[in-house]
Amino acid sequence: MANSQFNYNSQKGGFNIIPALIFGVIFLVALFFVARFVFNILSYLSIVFLIITLVLDYKIVVNYVKWVFEMMGKNPLVGVGLTLLTIFGHPVVSLFLFGKAMVKKKVKEMTQQFEERTQGTEAEFTEYEEVTPEDEGMVELPPPPVRQKPKQTRGGRNEYEDLFD
């Protein structure tokens, strides 16, 4: 009886595994070609990214190379892996270093603007005019009312406390 239910479900319900596998393989192949296309474009632009990074802040590239050499001293296997990754993945590494330089430049600009704004407010004084009551159009306001203590009723309680009884 259980076997017949299995045959019934496999024939009428669900989906076939073969079309799903075909679409999965097509998707992965398309993804591979798109990634290869993007990597080729980045490989042509990598030298431009590296030059711009050096112009913006050469210390970023120097620090990256120092970091790779430090990793070779600490853990040679990781250092060799990073070196190979840098050589074969130079388009991605140059894009990363370019992005780091751009972010560093933007942060530097924003801190400079912030410092200019904060230093500018300390030195600037607002023009003001001292007003005396003798000036025309001035109206004196009455003093604020004095608060009175609530009336005490039976046993030292006031009207407000009586509301809750």
The mean of the pLDDT values for the chain is: 83
By CB atoms closer than 10 A (0-12, 13-18, 19+), residue 96 is: middle
3-state secondary structure of 157: strand
Q: What is the pTM of this model?
A: 0.57
Residue 96 has pLDDT above 90, yes or no: yes
Quickly state the pLDDT bin for 150 (edges 50, 70, 90): low
- Kindly state the percentage of the chain with pLDDT values over 90: 52
Q: Are 118 and 111 in contact (CB under 8 A)?
A: no
List strand residue ranges (DSSP E) for the chain, in order.
152-153, 157-158
Quickly state the pLDDT bin for 12 (edges 50, 70, 90): low
